[in-house]
Structure 1
């Protein structure tokens, strides 16, 4: 491009404007009507959508945490232990599992979760820990570590 005067050079925004608008139009490609074709309308809608997407990322994390806690709590009630006691017992037994992995074990591998609950309960009993956090006692089956652990499994394998 050859500019004969400084005024024409200043008025030309160059290729940067094309690519800036193209980026907005690509983000608005799935919209309908003028929201897709008119730049001034598209840029408003794209910015609003990006704000919603930013907020949704935080909300998704919170939703997943609450879902994992619900799954773990339900599995704990089956094994007669509270969520607080389970977490405390696993921490004292140096078993470092996060919410997601505990939730996966609770839903997909219930025998493994039962063993973890028994280990946590045994560790709390040996440490003489009293759960003062939860006043109500869960209704479930009492676990003994000896019932859950490997002896029965090993005896089955030998046969």
Structure 2
């Protein structure tokens, strides 16, 4: 018999699918954060700044831009990203 014929087997498949979907949403958030950090770091490398130093400088200068926005700036608007790095108090 197949899942289309057996209610119990089909019901268990639906329950497992929900568990996999829940775990997948957690993994997606983790992967997105990793991607943002990689993009920010690739924008900082030509400027000679380390990622950890940059994030620390942002927090000390009370600039509250999240990693998603910073990665968008680093990839689509490098000049604006460079200004953010300068305004954080780091010398380029």
Where in structure 2 are the equivalents of 1:56-135 lying within 5 Å? 56-120=24-88, 123-124=89-90
Q: Distance in 1 between matches of 2:21 and 2:50?
A: 36
Q: SS state of the match for residue 60, structure 1?
A: helix
* C-alpha contact 1:105 1:113 (8 A) present in aligned 2: yes
Report the count of equivalent residues.
92
| More RCO (CA 8 Å, sep 6+) | 2
CA RMSD in angstroms, aligned pairs only: 1.8
What are the superposed Cα offsets for residues 93-146 of structure 1, whole Å, 9 maximum, x if unpaired? 2211111111111111111101111222xx256xxxxxxxxxxxxxxxxx3xxx
Q: Distance in 2 between matches of 1:93 and 1:102?
A: 15
TM-score (norm 1): 0.53
| Residue of structure 2 in register with 1:22 after alignment | none
Structure 2 gaps of 5+ residues are none
Which aligned segments of 4 or more residues in structure 1 are displaced greater than 6 angstroms? none
| Residue of structure 2 in register with 1:51 after alignment | 19
TM-score (norm 2): 0.87
Q: Distance in 1 between matches of 2:76 and 2:3?
A: 45
Q: Distance in 2 between matches of 1:61 and 1:106?
A: 20
